[in-house]
Amino acid sequence: MDCDMLLLQETWLSNETCCKLHEISSDFIVLHTSAMENKLCDNYLCGRPFGGTALMYSKHLSCKISQVDTNNPRCTAIKLKLDNSCDVVIVSVYMPCLNNTTEQRIEYENTIGCLQGIIDRNLGCNFVFGGDFNVSKKQSNANVTTLHNFCSVNGLLWLDPVSSGVNYTYHADTNRQYSLIDHMLVSPHLIENQESVDIHVDDHNASDHYAISVSLKTESTNMEKDKLRKYKTLKYMWNNADIYGYAKSAGGAPINSCSSENRTYV
Give per-residue pLDDT as tens, 3-41. 999 999 988 787 778 888 989 999 999 999 886 555 555
Q: Where do the domains of the chain lie, and which CATH numbers do they carry?
A: 77-262 (3.60.10)
Q: How does pLDDT run across 179-220, given as a tens digit for each residue?
A: 999 999 999 999 999 999 999 999 888 899 999 999 998 764
User: How large is the C-alpha radius of gyration of the chain?
Assistant: 20
- pLDDT value of residue 231: 34
pLDDT tens digits for 139-159? 999 999 999 999 999 999 999
- Closest C-alpha among 185, 96, 147, 157 to residue 264: 147
Give tens-digit pLDDT for 40-87: 555 544 545 568 899 999 999 989 999 999 989 899 999 999 988 999
Q: What is the DSSP string of 70-93?
A: -SSTTEEEEEEE-SSS--EEEEEE
pLDDT greater than 50 at residue 227: no
Mean pLDDT for the chain?
81
Say yes or no to pLDDT of 230 above 60.
no
Is residue 75 within 8 A of residue 35, CB to CB? The reply is no
> pLDDT higher for 262 or 87?
87
**48 with 41: CB under 8 angstroms?**
no
* pLDDT confidence of residue 86: 94
* 244 band by pLDDT with thresholds 50, 70 and 90: low
Please say if the pLDDT value at position 266 is more than 60: no
Over residues 115-130, the mean pLDDT reads 97
